[in-house]
Amino acid sequence: MQPDLLHAIQANLLSPAVLFFVLGVIASLSKSDLKFPEALYVTLTIYLLTAIGFKGGVALSQAGFEAVWRPGLAAIVLGTLIPLWSYPVLRFVGKLSVADSAAIAAHYGSVSAVTFIAATNFLKQVNEPFESYATAFLAVMESPAILVGIMLGKRGGKREGSLWGGGTRRALHEAAFGRSVLLLVGALIIGALSGKRGMDMTEGFFVTPFQGVLALFLLEMGMVASRRLEDLKRVGLFLLCFGIAAPLVHGFIGVALGHWAGLSLGGATLLGVLAASASYIAAPAAMRLSLPEASPTLYLTSALAITFPFNITVGIPIYYALARWWNS
Amino acid sequence: MQPDLLHAIQANLLSPAVLFFVLGVIASLSKSDLKFPEALYVTLTIYLLTAIGFKGGVALSQAGFEAVWRPGLAAIVLGTLIPLWSYPVLRFVGKLSVADSAAIAAHYGSVSAVTFIAATNFLKQVNEPFESYATAFLAVMESPAILVGIMLGKRGGKREGSLWGGGTRRALHEAAFGRSVLLLVGALIIGALSGKRGMDMTEGFFVTPFQGVLALFLLEMGMVASRRLEDLKRVGLFLLCFGIAAPLVHGFIGVALGHWAGLSLGGATLLGVLAASASYIAAPAAMRLSLPEASPTLYLTSALAITFPFNITVGIPIYYALARWWNS
Amino acid sequence: MQPDLLHAIQANLLSPAVLFFVLGVIASLSKSDLKFPEALYVTLTIYLLTAIGFKGGVALSQAGFEAVWRPGLAAIVLGTLIPLWSYPVLRFVGKLSVADSAAIAAHYGSVSAVTFIAATNFLKQVNEPFESYATAFLAVMESPAILVGIMLGKRGGKREGSLWGGGTRRALHEAAFGRSVLLLVGALIIGALSGKRGMDMTEGFFVTPFQGVLALFLLEMGMVASRRLEDLKRVGLFLLCFGIAAPLVHGFIGVALGHWAGLSLGGATLLGVLAASASYIAAPAAMRLSLPEASPTLYLTSALAITFPFNITVGIPIYYALARWWNS
Amino acid sequence: MKTHPMKLVTIICEALAREHLLALFAEVGVHGYTLFPVEGAGSQGRRPGDIAEFGNIQVEVVAAPALATVLMERLQAEFFPRFALIVYESDVRVLRPSKF
Amino acid sequence: MKTHPMKLVTIICEALAREHLLALFAEVGVHGYTLFPVEGAGSQGRRPGDIAEFGNIQVEVVAAPALATVLMERLQAEFFPRFALIVYESDVRVLRPSKF
Amino acid sequence: MKTHPMKLVTIICEALAREHLLALFAEVGVHGYTLFPVEGAGSQGRRPGDIAEFGNIQVEVVAAPALATVLMERLQAEFFPRFALIVYESDVRVLRPSKF
Ligand SMILES: Nc1ncnc2c1ncn2[C@@H]1O[C@H](COP(=O)(O)O)[C@@H](O)[C@H]1O
Ligand SMILES: Nc1ncnc2c1ncn2[C@@H]1O[C@H](COP(=O)(O)O)[C@@H](O)[C@H]1O
Ligand SMILES: Nc1ncnc2c1ncn2[C@@H]1O[C@H](COP(=O)(O)O)[C@@H](O)[C@H]1O
Ligand code: NA
Ligand code: NA
Ligand code: NA
């Protein structure tokens, strides 16, 4: 298995997407004047989410709902549980504050769509088939952990004032209608409703350029992630280890659960990737509003500057190797 | 014919483009934080107009000018006449002011490029061939009605001051060089000049992703249109009925005229769609500048929040059914 | 050869890309309200540079480094020499100031990526094969001339103050990590590393829509270039002639050098185009910062409003004809 | 031409505070505002503005002095503890005071 | 360092008024201006700014007091009846007065 | 509510000057600024803002009077000869003076 793993890591590192990520890191470290306009960032996000959602929905319409509910439930449970066991580790081993522990736990229970997409890319590259409807797991795993995290963090604090009540109601609204959930779930349903016919019509947009667009987006993500690198020393050694150990542990659990829920080798890998990934858009925004006393430096740096690059480069091949080992 | 119509409406409602429009409406009504950057909106507009223009031009170069002048003339006449009969209805039945009546009449005589594009999408989906050079009708129908509307509305009013003279000159300039006319007519001519060879080179951009881009754009249009929904009560019952009756009547006339001008079943449908559609970009901008006393709430709400969604969802299949009925 | 040249010019003028350039000129001259958002401009630039770089890199990985170093060296030498002979012409024949002469010389020694891309487009259209790795020459020719130009211009002037020292260091940094060099060289290396496999994955993005995107970009460039047209009278007759004579001379030298370095007919054409083209993004930015006393009106107008349109429309076919004549 | 003295309250804050800010405006009775997407740097580091959620906005409100004071007091009490923001006030003279 | 008192005239209006505004500047002799695309809300509702034609702009002009007055009078007389806009004036001190 | 008088220095300049401007801020001790991408026109012609390198930025700095003066003096001495820019100053009153 070792040579296999090395081979998979090498294949991943030499894929255009990961190489563009590295280029982004270099651009940022070398203080190049390269900069993506905000509108481009938003556009790429919208595109990637609708495309992956739509494809997932078409796959869903073909696989049928029976095939999906069991692993889907497993995904939700996983997303809910991860913050529950991460919190005590962060609070008592890492000695972080209530708010910080809760916020970081939420990030690691939630998911990163880009990591997921990079993993589908990787599976395509190594010719490993997977359940395309796995996007549905991505969609249902974003919010639960965020809600759990908010509840964990709010136990201590109290808010008063008319503007700050209803924090939970707001969080629930965000969980259902926040940009990324809305696009993912919406496109998923659209794909399911319009089926193969719809796919034939829009393939030239949602499928043909998809992998190249991801490469471009990872160029930007390389710049965004490495801007956080200077905060690395501020997060401390514990969080640095957590940012690598947590995805490995969660990835292992995710792969096992995926296997148990009847997913294919590729599908189990994807569930592992989802469990291992940490949110760096939806979760930070929610924490900033619901737990303002938690430090963005801590949660953003660990999710974005440690876990995200780790997963993109070597994590994904590792979870794949785990899935293969489990299957054999 | 009834089951046919229902079937066509269903096919349309389940197409990705229309479903994305519905998703946009939901996003807006649920107060989701999804938002398209202005630059993306402009980019999608530029893309859709140049792509449809270019394809139309290539088709024109193949069909030859003789095939086009007759239905083209019919289109221009139609665009000029619609405001002339809409105006008295709005003024005397609807009891609207001179300026409001003229402005609304201009909107319904002018056209909506997106509605037209959605109709070509629909025809492709139901495998109904159509004259691709029909884009030329779209191009020539945008401006005449706006000029007629300005003339109708200015009869009463008077402007003084150096800045406000030359309103008609400015309107004429806009009619010829306004963004959408320039892109459409320009791309049409480019398509005609570069012909099949040019198409071979740029197909991967102007054709391959086209339908998917439209779907994305309709997502935004769903948000834009439903932002106007709260103004519905302010426009009154008369305008609500007008916003649905006018497209039906104009669609019928357009289909008939298309049939008479020798267009195919698909082509006649498209002329019906053009007649039925109401402008919501070029006309509002022109009215705002030339007839500032007309209320944007009235004309924008009826064109954008009533007629546009009506056409996109059930109007287009109805005009198609009308064209089939006429042909049979 | 004459009818051939005319034919090539005609084919070029009727390609969608050049026609869209003309449309942009018309849009600007007619004071149309068409405007590209800045984010779209940046996006198109990023796309074109990464796509051309990536394709070049893949080609490089197939051709091997031995095939490239000789013409690559020729390209660098050419870029370094052009400002050295242009400077005295501008300074003593044109009677321009030291700073202006140096700045303009730098522009003509550096290159225009868009002109290069338009030339590859042209070669594809006339079915002339060329070395795809020629992008590497584009990449290495951008900076040398800029550095030479700064050194020429700084001989006289002196800067003091903490902010203005290190001008050469800054220029060197820019030469290595400036946006366009970074994207080009980065994508080139990525293409070389990921090879054919990487190309298979991202072809639908980097290749399929490429020529259409170029057409869209030239629409914007037509507007940008013709905004400078009103400055034409300010640059004087000498610079007007220089803006056309210099590319012809440099194009000839480039073609000859390409031939001598063993490039194919298409490759020699491309080296001619690179020599003939003048930078209008990287060089102006560098000059503005390093030689602020040079007049932007002079260098921008000649590079952008004279040489760029000349090359795009008739220059490219001329260099191609030169290459054919040289080869025969 | 008659002008009328008013206060211009300028708020620069992280973009995430946007909805809360608009909610505050509604509560205190501010009916008009103008919003700019901006880049910036301050005590909490640089905000480059390529990711809207992590970006900055500047919001300007023209208001009568009393209303401006109420707005600033609420900002001080409720927003300073939660968000990266700075607030300042200046004097302006408006045409058409009825609009404010 | 010597500064020179000037007026800063700020105009917030619907983007459609742009060409007319620039034409007015040319007529009254305003040679410099700075323009911001903005979002906003006011008595005429919210302007979200995703469609430029329905959006808002803020335009700022630094001018000598007399010129500022002329500009504001023309705006009051000719723009207020036609466009959604607000106008205000404030005091600034410029370097290099020759530029204005 | 207590406010504290400060100076607002506004700089409008070609976007290319950006890095130099930020370097100057660091040198003179300005730690916060806010930056707007703008369009504009002035003595050096129109800057339409579709190409960032040829565009305009407006940068605003809130600073104590002494620091504002230092900043403006440096701008006058070092930036005016090199870049298209205008600079002006006005009075504002801030909340939380500790931030400046
Ligand atoms: N001195 C200043 N002058 C102008 N803008 C500032 C200043 N300090 C902070 N800002 C703006 O306010 C935002 C938040 O500031 P801070 O909370 O200090 O990081 C920054 O990102 C800047 O856009
Ligand atoms: N009180 C205010 N403070 C700041 N900006 C305002 C205010 N009222 C209106 N505006 C701006 O002016 C634009 C037009 O105002 P209105 O005509 O009242 O809709 C709005 O969209 C806002 O951008
Ligand atoms: N009178 C003015 N009022 C407001 N902004 C101005 C004025 N003059 C110049 N500007 C701005 O400053 C930039 C540079 O000015 P200039 O160096 O005169 O071309 C212009 O592009 C405008 O954005
Ligand atoms: Na996770
Ligand atoms: Na119509
Ligand atoms: Na050159």
Q: What is the rounded CA–CA span in Å between residue A263 and residue B265? A: 49
CB contact under 8 A, D88 and F6: yes
Cβ–Cβ < 8 Å for C50, C183: yes
d(C-alpha C156, C-alpha A111), whole Å: 59
Nearest to A161, CA basis, from D58, D66, D73, D65: D73
Question: What's the mean per-residue pLDDT of chain E?
Answer: 91
| pLDDT band, residue B158 (cuts 50/70/90) | low
What interface predicted TM-score (ipTM) does this complex get?
0.94
Chain A residues within an 8 Å CB radius of C177? 27, 30-33
Q: Which chains form contacts with chain A, at 3 or more CB pairs under 8 Å? A: B, C, D
pLDDT over 70 percentage in chain D: 96
Chain-centroid distance of CA A294 in Å reads 21
SS3 E31: coil
Which residues have CB under 8 Å from C169's CB, separation 6+?
Answer: none
Is the CB of C205 less than 8 angstroms away from the CB of A216? Answer: yes
On whether the A35-327 domain is CATH 1.20.1530.20, my answer is yes
Substitution target from B13, B18, B20 for chain A, most A beta carbons within 10 A? B20
Q: What is the pLDDT of residue F54?
A: 79
A152 Cα: distance to centroid of ligand 4 (angstroms)? 17
Q: How confident is the model at residue B154 (pLDDT cuts 50, 70, 90)?
A: confident
What spacing in Å lies between the alpha carbon of E17 and ligand 2's midpoint?
A: 14
CA–CA gap between residue B142 and residue B282 (Å, rounded)? 8
pLDDT value of position A165: 66
Ligand 1 mean position to D80 CA, how many Å? Answer: 13
Q: Which pLDDT score is estimated for A66?
A: 87
Q: Looking at residue B187, what is its pLDDT?
A: 97
Q: Strand pairing of E33-42 and D33-42?
A: antiparallel
Residue C156: per-residue pLDDT? 56
pLDDT at D99: 77
Q: What is the mean pLDDT of chain B?
A: 92
Tell me the average pLDDT of chain F: 91
Alpha carbon nearest to ligand 3 atom 15, residue? F42
Q: Give the C-alpha separation, A53 to C250, whole Å.
A: 52
All partners of chain C with 3 or more CB pairs under 8 angstroms? A, B, F
Average pLDDT over residues D35-60: 85
Q: F51 falls in which pLDDT band (50, 70, 90)?
A: confident
The Cα–Cα gap between F84 and F73 comes to: 16
Question: A with B: 3 or more CB pairs under 8 Å?
Answer: yes
Q: What are phi and psi of F66, to 5 degrees?
A: -65, -45
The residue whose CA has the least distance to atom 23 of ligand 3 is: F40
Query: Domain extents for chain B?
Result: 35-327
Backbone dihedral angles phi then psi of residue E51, each to the nearest 5 degrees = -120, 115
**Local confidence band at A55 (pLDDT 50, 70, 90 cut-offs):** very high
Three-state SS at C209: coil
Rounded Cα–Cα distance for residues B326 and B264 (Å):
11
pLDDT at residue A277, as a whole number: 98
In the predicted structure, residue B161 carries a pLDDT above the cut 90: no
State the smallest CA–CA distance between residue F21 and chain D in angstroms: 13
Sequential pLDDT tens for chain C (328 residues): 467 899 999 999 999 999 999 999 999 999 998 999 999 999 999 999 999 999 999 999 999 888 899 999 999 999 999 999 999 999 999 999 999 999 999 999 999 999 999 999 999 999 999 999 999 999 999 999 999 999 999 875 555 566 776 667 777 888 888 889 999 999 999 999 999 999 999 999 999 999 999 999 999 999 999 988 888 888 899 999 999 999 999 999 999 999 999 999 999 999 999 999 999 988 998 898 888 889 989 999 999 999 999 999 999 999 999 999 988 8
- The domain in which residue F30 lies consists of 4-99
Q: Which residue has the tokens 């690395």?
A: A232
Whether D63 is in the pocket of ligand 1, judged by its Cβ within 6 Å, is no
Both tokens of residue C245?
A: 């004579």
HSE, CB side, 13 Å, CA atoms: give it for residue B173.
13
Q: Does B169 touch chain C (CB under 8 A)?
A: no
Cα of B32 vs centre of ligand 4, distance in Å, is 23
E-only strand ranges, chain C: none
pLDDT of residue B167: 66
Backbone angles phi, psi at F92, to 5 degrees: -135, 165
Integer CA distances (angstroms), C320 to A97, A150, B304, C255, C327, in order? 70, 66, 52, 8, 10
* Alpha carbon F87 to its chain's center: 7
pLDDT, tens digit (0-9, with 9 covering 90-100), for B291-326: 888 998 999 999 999 999 999 999 999 999 999 998
What would the mean pLDDT of A122-149 be, rounded to a whole number? 94
The pLDDT of residue B201 is above 90: yes
Comparing F57 with F99, which gets the higher pLDDT? F57
Average pLDDT over residues A261-285: 95
Distance CA D15, CA B38 (A): 17
Report the nearest-CA residue for atom 12 of ligand 3. F12
Cα–Cα distance, B220 to E50 (Å, whole number): 9
Instruction: Look at residue C169 in the predicted model and tell me its pLDDT.
Output: 77
Average pLDDT over residues A81-104: 96
Greatest Cα pair distance, chain D, in angstroms, is 45
Average pLDDT over residues F63-77: 96
pLDDT band at A145, cuts 50/70/90? Answer: very high
The model's pLDDT over A125-136, given as tens digits with 9 standing for 90+, comes to: 999 999 999 999
Instruction: Specify the CATH number for the domain of residue E67.
Output: 3.30.70.120
> What pLDDT was estimated at residue A160?
57
A105 has a pLDDT exceeding 70: yes
Q: What is the mean pLDDT of residues B170-178?
A: 82
Query: CB contact, 8 Å: C220 with chain F?
Result: yes
pLDDT at position B169, please?
77
Comparing CB atoms, the residue among D6, D62, D95 nearest residue E76 is D95
Measured at the alpha carbon of residue C223, what is the angle toward residues C103 and F47, in degrees to the nearest 5? Answer: 60
pLDDT at residue B276 greater than cutoff 70: yes
* Average pLDDT rounded to a whole number, residues D67-82: 94
Phi-psi region of A178 (alpha: psi -120 to 50; beta: other; left: phi over 0): beta
Q: Do C16 and B202 touch (CB under 8 A)?
A: yes
Q: What's the token pair of residue A12?
A: 């991943």
Task: Give residue B89's pLDDT.
Answer: 97
Ligand nearest to the CA of E45: 2
d(CA B73, CA B53): 18
| Residue C54 to residue A16, Cβ atoms within 8 A | yes
* pLDDT tens by residue, E13-23: 999 899 899 99
Residue C270 gets which letter from DSSP? H
Predicted local confidence at residue E95, as pLDDT: 93
Structure-derived torsion over alpha carbons of residues B58, B64, B69, B70, reported in degrees to the nearest 10 = -110
Tokens of F76: 């006058």
Q: Do F1 and D76 touch (CB under 8 A)?
A: yes
The total number of structural domains in chain E stands at 1
Take residue C125 and report the two structure tokens written for it. 């259209």
Q: Is the CB of residue F90 less than 8 Å from the CB of residue E93?
A: yes
Q: Is the CB of F41 under 6 A from ligand 3?
A: yes
Residue among F27, F52, F82 whose CB faces C162 most closely: F27
Question: From start to end of chain E, where are the E strands?
Answer: 4-14, 33-42, 45-47, 56-63, 85-94
Q: Which residues surround ligand 5, an ion (CB under 5 A)?
A: B 111, 277
Please tell me the distance from the alpha carbon of residue A13 to that of residue E35, in angstroms, as a whole number: 46
Cβ A261 vs Cβ A70: under 8 Å: yes
Section B131-145 average pLDDT: 94
What φ, ψ does residue B258 adopt, rounded to 5°?
-60, -45
Assess whether the C-beta atom of F9 lies below 6 angstroms from ligand 3. Answer: no
User: A144 C-alpha vs ligand 4 centroid, how far in Å?
Assistant: 11
CA distance B12 to B120: 11
Asked if residues B184 and B55 have their Cβ atoms less than 8 Å apart, the reply is no
Of C176, C189, C204, nearest to A208 by CB-CB distance is C204
Atom of ligand 3 nearest to the CA of E35: 23
The predicted structure's pLDDT at residue F58: 97
Return the residue of A nearest to B213 by Cα: A205
**What pLDDT is recorded for position C170?**
77
Q: Which ligand is nearest to the CA of A110?
A: 4
| CB pair distance less than 8 Å for F90 and E8 | yes
Q: Which atom of ligand 1 is nearest to the CA of D84?
A: 17
- Residue A157 scores a pLDDT above 70: no
Residue D80: closest C-alpha in chain A: A292
Q: Is the CB of D12 under 6 A from ligand 1?
A: yes
D52 close to D19: Cβ distance less than 8 angstroms: no
